[in-house]
Structure 1
């Protein structure tokens, strides 16, 4: 019988390599915990989306982090391994997702005898992470924001205008015609988003700057011991479900108006070619933000998913920054 599992970490007597299902906010959710030494500091990784669960493919990208940290990933309610028809639809709110993140953080601190964790959010995950830090700053050593989302309406406007302009510049008549027919966002259907994102990716400004992100990730998920074949279906269904259910709530998101300061050290990383969550918005937000420590880092060869596109540089940044933070305590 096929079961969900994660490979052990060899030659590390105090290691942890565990795939677990626990109750969070009254809903069963799955966690992946991996580290060479479970006494090391915890990094809690909050995936993108909505619904972009990553337990099924993330292991190959975190092996170096596992040497210095206990890295925890979780498939959020309504996504990936945690996708279930039993999850109350009314619980699928940003507020509840933030509560889930905080509850997971508390459980990790209690289990591994820590006062705080490091938080790493990507895209949609930066929304949840930032709100959790505002709500419970005492739980977090610091925050790595990757492709920080600030204002969804502005995100879509800038992204659409860039894609339309790019299509005209390079003379791609098919792209220009399809995009012009869509009209300016907000769009009412995910199919409109799909058409826009198809051309955004074609122009090297979508999920990745180069390569085939979807193909690479799907292959990784299919080969993953953490996911079974049925989980691949759940993974896809969870993305569609989550994107639909959060669409309206996201349209009203605006950190420019609601947030001016945080009490936790922050590093914001931007992909130079990212027009999924345009880095110019994140940089403008960074410039107005008050924090005990803040740093902006460009990743020159990346679009939206710099964690995967420039993995080695990102891992080095995390390690060096945590060492810097630790030495100043």
Structure 2
């Protein structure tokens, strides 16, 4: 995602500079007003918490502390969800939403810089995720939280849900990534076909040279592939420009310096993917002790819905549901936040509030 998001951001500067920044100031102020929480039992805590030996940014927001807690695990690597508060503001009426910018990402990276991130490995961030979960449980005085990973975050999420059912009341995956140790090449094949149809001979050669087995890719090659996969699909590219870059540009949390740091953090976080191409989610186990939900973009080209469905069908869980989100590729929850909320209210909230006295 790194290259394509950066390119889309550069394109946004094509507008006259004075008008661009005036418009940005007005919109950011409007988003700041939208984000205010004034309900008597609400919570709005955003700041740095010491996790894994370094300071990491965590946001805890909601209109009623009695609501179920959603803990996001963002994707990328380095694609923090902290810019999306305005898009998902309605979720906070029904849930307490916890956003965490991993080491190397977003506001955590902006605060500590490259020298303040410590070890950047999958294993280290996995342990951070467990520590963040326990911090949230203690801070909010709840027994479990809903685990809600997206994109590369689902690689962490599946392992967290398998290994720590005592911490989570449900699993809700979106942009669900299923690792199959290189067996499934459908997304790779489709990317090549789109590039060939568009006459992108140089890009075709790049992807072909990488080969179809992600176990052989370097982290830099994975980033290159993601850029070409997303950039060759009109719907995904439209979402990146309007939703991803637009949210980052207009977020009240992001000064221009923090926007720059956001992109630097994505490049810095590339090592997180080292070795993950060899993961095998089917072999690791399809039995989960928590309710299991997947809400996937119907036209996702990065993590295809058919692959997520195949894994979902093999899952054994106390309760499970799979839903497609129309007019959405990757980043489905952010492109269609109201539809995603409907699915949370239809499937997830009733399960995790069963037997509890909570407001609707």
Instruction: Give the alignment's TM-score, normalised by structure 2.
Output: 0.80
Gaps in structure 2 of 5+ consecutive residues: 1-30, 356-360
How much does 1:214 deviate? 3.6
User: Aligned with 1:32: secondary structure?
Assistant: strand
Rounded to whole Å, the distance in 2 between the matches of 1:253 and 1:276 is: 17
User: Aligned with 1:281: secondary structure?
Assistant: helix
Question: Residue in 1 aligned with 2:115?
Answer: 86
Question: Residue in 2 aligned with 1:238?
Answer: 265
Aligned-pair Cα RMSD in Å: 2.5
Q: State whether structure 2 residue 279 is matched by structure 1 residue 249.
A: no
Question: Residue in 2 aligned with 1:228?
Answer: 255
Question: Residue in 2 aligned with 1:42?
Answer: 69
- Whether contact under 8 Å (1:53, 1:76) holds in the other structure is yes
- Whether contact under 8 Å (2:37, 2:62) holds in the other structure is no
1:269–1:239: structure 2 CA closer, same or farther, 3 Å change rule?
same
- Whether contact under 8 Å (1:159, 1:276) holds in the other structure is yes
Rounded to whole Å, the distance in 2 between the matches of 1:72 and 1:196 is: 27
Rounded to whole Å, the distance in 1 between the matches of 2:94 and 2:226 is: 39
- Whether contact under 8 Å (1:9, 1:15) holds in the other structure is no
Rounded to whole Å, the distance in 1 between the matches of 2:84 and 2:338 is: 14
How much does 1:196 deviate? 6.1
How much does 1:188 deviate? 4.2
Instruction: Give the alignment's TM-score, normalised by structure 1.
Output: 0.87
How much does 1:108 deviate? 1.3
- Whether contact under 8 Å (1:6, 1:19) holds in the other structure is no
What's the CA shift string for 1:262-316, capped at 9, x where partnerless?
Answer: 1010111222211211222211111111111111111121111110222211111
1:35–1:94: structure 2 CA closer, same or farther, 3 Å change rule?
same
Gaps in structure 1 of 5+ consecutive residues: none
1:297–1:38: structure 2 CA closer, same or farther, 3 Å change rule?
same
Rounded to whole Å, the distance in 1 between the matches of 2:222 and 2:44 is: 40
User: Aligned with 2:238: secondary structure?
Assistant: coil
Q: State whether structure 2 residue 204 is matched by structure 1 residue 179.
A: yes
Q: State whether structure 2 residue 52 is matched by structure 1 residue 22.
A: no
Equivalences, count: 316
User: Aligned with 2:114: secondary structure?
Assistant: coil
Question: Residue in 2 aligned with 1:118?
Answer: 146
- Whether contact under 8 Å (1:45, 1:120) holds in the other structure is yes
User: Aligned with 1:114: secondary structure?
Assistant: coil
* 2:167 alignment partner, one of 122, 139, 148: 139
Rounded to whole Å, the distance in 2 between the matches of 1:126 and 1:155 is: 19
- Whether contact under 8 Å (1:273, 1:303) holds in the other structure is yes
109-118 or 248-257, which moves further after superposition? Answer: 248-257
- Whether contact under 8 Å (1:182, 1:192) holds in the other structure is no
Q: State whether structure 2 residue 133 is matched by structure 1 residue 105.
A: yes
What's the CA shift string for 1:31-66, capped at 9, x where partnerless?
Answer: 1121112232211111111111121x2101221110
Rounded to whole Å, the distance in 2 between the matches of 1:192 and 1:54 is: 20
User: Aligned with 2:290: secondary structure?
Assistant: coil
